[in-house]
């Protein structure tokens, strides 16, 4: 099992006092799949550094539709769960465990003090925030300009890469929530993919039969 020191990217750039303060403030949490860890801008949960598992950050429309803005895997850090430390950012994001997950929680006030003292921590934080907003801008581009067949194909290929298998244990509802659309729309699209021999559908499972065809759809 990896240690916090191995996973925290700028650990070696901190002095001994800062390292001690950071380690002394940490808590390790185990959460089950489906647990909501952070709920909107009213929460200032702290920063999450993932030891194992998978989290999903998403936004909710007024009608209650979800759309995934990014996913967090092993060794990823989540900043938006502590958006209160960045005054210019008012971003209402929900963070949920997609799998059973173990993560370290860094209190927001401790991290904020490290940012003020340590240029490497401040630089790392700014780079990470820029990367996350780049993800959000990419998502906006997808939603505005890309047809749904391309987005569903891209999502299935991303799932294969994450899970390491062509047999995806996933419901149509879950795909719809990731892509910000309705389950019925996803079901129609997947049936079209099945008719084209790209996937095979069964209850709670999508088996990808032809990755090349799905990739070609995105061109």
pLDDT tens by residue, 141-182 = 888 888 999 999 999 999 999 999 999 999 999 999 999 999
Same domain, 60 and 90: yes
* 138 compared with 184, residue with greater pLDDT: 184
CA gyration radius, the chain: 19
- Quick one: pLDDT at residue 179? 94
Same domain, 129 and 198: no
- Quick one: which of 87, 129, 85 has its CA closest to 110? 85
The enclosing domain of 37 has a CATH number of 2.60.120.10
Same domain, 14 and 44: yes
Structural domain ending residue among the three candidates 144, 171, 199 = 144
Indicate the number of domains in the chain.
2
* 92 compared with 53, residue with greater pLDDT: 53
Same domain, 88 and 173: no
Encode pLDDT of 105-152 as tens digits.
Answer: 999 899 999 999 999 999 999 999 888 888 888 888 888 888 999 999
- pLDDT greater than 70 at residue 87: no
Within 8 A by CB and 6+ apart from 76, the residues are: 49, 50, 55
The enclosing domain of 159 has a CATH number of 1.10.10.10
Percent of the chain with pLDDT over 70: 96
Same domain, 25 and 77: yes
Q: Which domain range does residue 184 map to?
A: 146-217
Same domain, 120 and 190: no
Within 8 A by CB and 6+ apart from 139, the residues are: 67, 68, 69, 70
Residue 161 to residue 140: CA distance in whole angstroms:
22
Structural domain ending residue among the three candidates 113, 144, 175 = 144
Same domain, 13 and 41: yes
The band of 39, judged by pLDDT with boundaries at 50, 70 and 90, is confident
């Amino acid at each position: 099992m990896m240690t916090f020191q191995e996973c925290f990217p700028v650990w070696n750039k901190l002095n001994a006092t800062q390292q001690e303060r950071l380690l002394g403030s940490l808590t390790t949490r185990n959460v089950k799949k489906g647990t909501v860890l952070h709920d909107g801008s009213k929460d200032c949960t702290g920063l999450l550094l993932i030891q194992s598992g998978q989290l999903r950050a998403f936004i909710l429309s007024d009608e209650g539709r979800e759309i995934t803005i990014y996913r967090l895997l092993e060794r990823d850090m989540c900043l938006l769960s502590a958006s209160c430390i960045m005054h210019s950012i008012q971003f209402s994001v929900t963070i949920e465990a997609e799998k059973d997950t173990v993560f370290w929680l860094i209190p927001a006030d401790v991290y904020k003090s490290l940012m003020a003292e340590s240029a490497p921590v401040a630089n790392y934080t700014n780079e990470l925030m820029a990367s996350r907003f780049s993800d959000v801008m990419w998502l906006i581009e997808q939603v505005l300009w890309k047809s749904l067949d391309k987005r569903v194909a891209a999502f299935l290929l991303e799932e294969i890469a994450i899970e390491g298998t062509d047999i995806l244990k996933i419901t149509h509802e879950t795909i719809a929530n990731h892509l910000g659309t309705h389950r019925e729309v996803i079901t129609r699209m997947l049936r079209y993919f099945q008719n084209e021999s790209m996937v095979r559908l069964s209850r709670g499972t999508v088996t990808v039969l032809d990755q090349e065809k799905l990739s070609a759809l995105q061109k």
